């Protein structure tokens, strides 16, 4: 009976795997309701058959355990009773104590048999109850309203489809059993004795991806970015739970004493982060169209321990930091194309065309002369217009609001870019096309800070001219997530601003020195001109003296002297006349 049930259970398991494989291959772009219904019904039937067979198989195994307890006692008891009957004549040698012992053994055997019968009845009732309660779970994608997603997990196990490349453009999907062990993701194929290490998921990043027209796919990238793995979950519930679990593990919550409590507190603080403001509901309604227009996604935000920020920020009002009726932007949208027309003029991009194949045209690169070039991998979380740009609390509060809004609206997807820090500006560059997505002039970056506990989060405030109200300066706070390099990015931005500040001081000193040189040159020209006038006067004096000693008539000589003196006086001006009179 046991061997037969084992074979039936194996056949049911194989049928279930085949049904799940067919369901995983369903296209999400070209959905055929008839084929989808047939495949769903096949999964439902095979999963129900496997569950029923498994429970009967376990019931038979438990019954076998009870039978093993009495398998030796019953024959021995019969043998002893036969011996007693056979050796009736020698009954005087058998004491009353031995008879009492045998009686107790027989009573124990009967009790075990009655217990076995009761246990079998209870197991049959449990199987019927489990069949009724588990009926919705036989569907490949159960309703998340009836079975809510657990977002506070720090351990998870289950079957996933892994994408393995077999060539440059070809790949295959293999179904394996995956489980987390501390900060490691493990996998175990069917028939293997133990699992193997797939990836170290401490400080990793996880996000949703669109891969080969398959649903519920997500990508895990290691801390250094050198290794990544694309996996597919069976249902939306498993898909979100895997993302939340890996995100909780990446923040090393599992190392604490009560990891699930801390994860729940972090998620709860993210959900309650926007509740202090009475006007948030109106802002939430104004934000809804923007949020719905974004593609729904796949990655939980790195909320860190945002609850620790509530104490210093409790005295600040949300309305005193964030501009009213301002939606949160979750995608990278240039302020030039939105509502900040002044940034293009201030950054000197008004007359420049962008090459769609890269900015490597004939003109010289604007960052070529910069002595600082540092590149970081970042993921854009969101941006929002703020009222103040004087305190780092603005950046902390914006982080909390954006992460809370992502958690509330289930927005997990983030855009990955390269952040280039130079002495002139900050650039967001597309990693595939190397095209500049956004350019932030460094003088306009007035505030930057990293999260006090989650070092992967950092942000900066950009001050621009113009905005929704003309002739007014606006401040926009941009929030990013990096691979544990938030402090390095802030240090790099600070270094760039110091270099730019000293360069500006050098430029002003150079301009001042040039102005001093021009004044000195002008004074030298005036001095040379004065010396030339004095020299001409001395020459004229010698001429007058020579003419006075000549033998010409005095009248003619006086006429010559007077006429020449008058002509020279007209050329010399006031200073020359005074010197001439003194002479």
Q: Please, what is the Cα angle at 24 between 19 and 26, to 5 degrees?
A: 105
pLDDT in tens, 328-387: 888 775 443 343 333 433 333 333 444 444 444 443 444 445 677 788 889 888 888 888
Residue pair 181/196 in contact by the 8 Å Cβ criterion? no
The CA distance from 313 to 71, in Å, is 72
Averaged pLDDT for residues 454-467: 82
**pLDDT surpasses 70 at 290:** no
Q: What is the pLDDT of residue 349?
A: 39
Q: What is the pLDDT of residue 298?
A: 33
Residue pair 237/190 in contact by the 8 Å Cβ criterion? no
The CA distance from 506 to 508, in Å, is 5
Q: Which of 439, 340, 456, 342 is nearest to 399 (CA)?
A: 456
pLDDT in tens, 398-413: 888 888 888 777 777 7
Residue 551 CB neighbour total at 10 angstroms: 5
Q: What is the pLDDT of residue 16?
A: 92
Q: What phi and psi values does residue 2 have, to the nearest 5 degrees?
A: -65, -45
Class of domain 1-85: mainly alpha
| Sequence-distant (≥ 6) Cβ neighbours of residue 177 within 8 angstroms | 157, 158, 159, 187, 188, 189, 190, 195
The segment(s) of the chain belonging to CATH 2.30.29.30 are 157-270, 373-499
Is domain 373-499 given the CATH code 2.30.29.30 in the classification? yes
The token pair at 552 is 């010409």
Topology of the domain covering 157-270: PH-domain like (2.30.29)
The CA distance from 347 to 332, in Å, is 18
The token pair at 265 is 């507190």
The CA distance from 54 to 117, in Å, is 20
Lowest mean pLDDT among 28-37, 166-175, 484-493, 542-551: 542-551
Q: What is the pTM of this model?
A: 0.41
pLDDT in tens, 38-65: 999 999 999 999 999 999 999 999 998 8
Residue holding tokens 């006075």?
Answer: 548
């Amino acid at each position: 009976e046991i061997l037969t049930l084992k074979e039936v259970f194996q056949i049911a398991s194989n049928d279930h795997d085949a049904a799940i494989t067919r369901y995983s291959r369903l296209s999400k772009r070209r959905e055929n309701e008839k084929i989808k219904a047939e495949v769903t019904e096949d999964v439902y039937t095979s999963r129900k058959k496997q569950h029923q067979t498994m429970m009967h198989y376990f019931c038979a195994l438990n019954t076998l355990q009870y039978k093993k307890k009495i398998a030796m006692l019953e024959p021995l008891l019969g043998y002893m009773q036969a011996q007693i009957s056979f050796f009736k004549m020698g009954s005087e040698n058998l004491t009353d104590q031995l008879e009492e012992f045998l009686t107790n053994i027989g009573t124990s055997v009967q009790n075990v048999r009655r217990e076995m019968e009761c246990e079998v009845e209870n197991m049959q009732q449990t199987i019927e109850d489990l069949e009724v309660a588990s009926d919705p779970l036989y569907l490949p994608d159960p309703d998340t309203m009836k079975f809510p997603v657990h977002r506070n997990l720090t351990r998870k196990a289950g079957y996933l489809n892994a994408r393995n490349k077999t060539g440059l453009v070809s790949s295959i999907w293999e179904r394996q059993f995956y489980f987390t062990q501390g900060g490691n993701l493990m996998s175990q194929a069917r028939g293997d004795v133990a699992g193997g290490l797939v990836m170290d998921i401490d400080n990793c990043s996880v996000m949703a991806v669109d891969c080969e027209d398959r649903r519920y796919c997500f990508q895990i990238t290691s801390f250094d970015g050198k290794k990544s793995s694309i996996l597919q979950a069976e249902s939306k519930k498993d898909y979100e739970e895997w993302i939340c679990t890996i995100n909780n593990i990446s923040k090393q919550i599992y190392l604490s004493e009560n990891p699930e409590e801390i994860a729940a507190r972090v998620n709860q603080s993210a959900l309650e982060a926007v509740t202090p403001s009475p006007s948030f509901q109106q802002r939430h309604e104004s934000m809804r169209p923007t949020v719905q227009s974004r593609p729904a996604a796949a990655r939980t935000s790195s909320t860190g321990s945002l609850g620790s920020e509530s104490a210093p920020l409790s005295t600040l009002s949300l309305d005193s930091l964030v501009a009213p009726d301002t939606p949160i932007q979750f995608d990278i949208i240039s302020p030039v194309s939105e509502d900040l027309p002044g940034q293009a003029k201030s950054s000197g991009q008004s007359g420049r065309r962008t090459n769609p194949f890269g900015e490597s045209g004939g003109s010289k690169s604007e960052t070529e002369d910069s002595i600082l070039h540092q590149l970081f991998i970042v993921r854009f979380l969101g941006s929002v217009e703020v009222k103040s740009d004087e305190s780092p609390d603005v950046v902390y509060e914006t982080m909390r609001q954006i992460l809370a809004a992502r958690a509330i609206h289930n927005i997990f997807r983030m855009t990955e870019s390269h952040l280039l820090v130079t002495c002139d500006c900050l650039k967001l560059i597309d990693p595939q096309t190397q095209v500049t997505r956004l350019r932030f002039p460094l003088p306009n970056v007035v505030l930057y800070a990293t999260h006090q506990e989650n070092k992967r989060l950092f942000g900066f405030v950009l001050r621009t001219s113009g905005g929704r109200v003309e002739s007014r300066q606006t401040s926009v706070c941009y929030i990013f997530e990096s691979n544990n390099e938030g402090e390095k990015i802030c240090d790099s931005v600070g270094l760039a601003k110091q270099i730019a500040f000293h360069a500006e001081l050098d430029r002003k000193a150079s301009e001042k020195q040039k102005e001093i040189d021009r004044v000195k040159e002008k004074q030298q020209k005036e001095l040379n001109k004065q010396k030339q006038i004095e020299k001409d006067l001395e020459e004229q004096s010698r001429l007058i003296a020579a003419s006075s000693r000549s033998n010409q008539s005095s009248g003619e000589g006086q006429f010559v002297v007077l006429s020449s003196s008058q002509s020279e006086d007209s050329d010399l001006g006031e200073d020359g006349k005074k010197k001439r009179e003194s002479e």
